[in-house]
Amino acid sequence: MFKGVIFDFDGTLTELTLDFDLLRAEVEAIARRYVAENVILSLKSHYILEMINEIERILDDKNARFKEEAYARLRDLEVEASKGKGVFHYTREVLQCLKNRGISIGVITRSCTDAVEEVFPDVRDYADSIVTREGTRYVKPSPLHVVEALRELRLQPDDVMVVGDHPTDIIAGRALNMRTAGVLTGRTAKDGFEKVQATFIFDDIRGILTLC
């Protein structure tokens, strides 16, 4: 039915332990040293990485230190949140089963590479492509994040499914007319995936095995 599967990471292959309120508060504290409070308030509806990129644009590269500081702090918090946990007990089995069936595996995440490797040190034994935020400027829900994984997998959108625990995963895949699957192992309920028209909704990634 498909030649590849691109998985989100946090909440999909591993428990979601990130405190997004803390991440935002820490980045905003750094931002206050560079821009006025009204700028920060105007970006409240932005995701954290998009907020960083917009502030960088506003600064017009006059001070590259902001982005460096913000990303360094995010990296520290993401790695800290990753300590002591691993992937779900079934993750490796599912990925290996797919590989045994000749299906290529991609992983995309808005998090940093160090956090992925902290949780899943042998990830490269299972994944043919891993695109963290260091690998692309345009992270999901931008479809360009998925495009980068497709490029590395050398596959076309029609041949690949995107799987994730958040609507951003579904939105990114649907923008390329890809099949998508929402999994209920993160913080998004079934109706959240129905709203963004996920092709499939499963309790967890083991549901993918019923499709191949």
Query: Where along the chain do its domains lie?
Result: 4-15+86-211, 20-82
- Measuring CA to CA, which residue among 16, 13, 22, 53 is closest to residue 186? 16
Q: What is the pLDDT of residue 185?
A: 98
Q: Write out the two tokens for 42.
A: 């105007």
User: Cα–Cα distance between 124 and 121 in angstroms, integer?
Assistant: 8
User: Cα–Cα distance between 33 and 198 in angstroms, integer?
Assistant: 41
- Asked if 114 and 80 touch (Cβ cutoff 8 Å), the reply is no
Q: What is the pLDDT of residue 60?
A: 80
Q: Which residues pair with 5 in a beta bridge?
A: 105, 161
> Whole-model pTM?
0.94
Q: What ranges in 10-64 are assigned the alpha helix state H?
A: 20-31, 37-42, 48-59
- Measuring CA to CA, which residue among 34, 22, 116 is closest to residue 74? 22
At the topology level, CATH places domain 4-15+86-211 in Rossmann fold (3.40.50)
Q: What is the pLDDT of residue 62?
A: 63
Q: What is the pLDDT of residues 77-124, one digit of tens each?
A: 999 999 999 999 999 999 999 999 999 999 999 999 999 999 999 999
- Exposed, middle or buried: residue 132 (CB in 10 Å: 0-12, 13-18, 19+)? buried
- Asked if 167 and 190 touch (Cβ cutoff 8 Å), the reply is no
- Asked if 170 and 196 touch (Cβ cutoff 8 Å), the reply is yes
- Report which DSSP code applies to 205: G
User: Cα–Cα distance between 209 and 212 in angstroms, integer?
Assistant: 6
In angstroms, the Cα distances linking 44 to 31, 39, 70, 109 are: 13, 9, 16, 22
Q: In degrees rounded to 5, what are phi and psi of residue 199? A: -65, -40
Q: What is the pLDDT of residue 188?
A: 97
- Exposed, middle or buried: residue 49 (CB in 10 Å: 0-12, 13-18, 19+)? buried
The low-confidence residues of the chain, meaning pLDDT below 50, are: none
User: Cα–Cα distance between 113 and 104 in angstroms, integer?
Assistant: 20
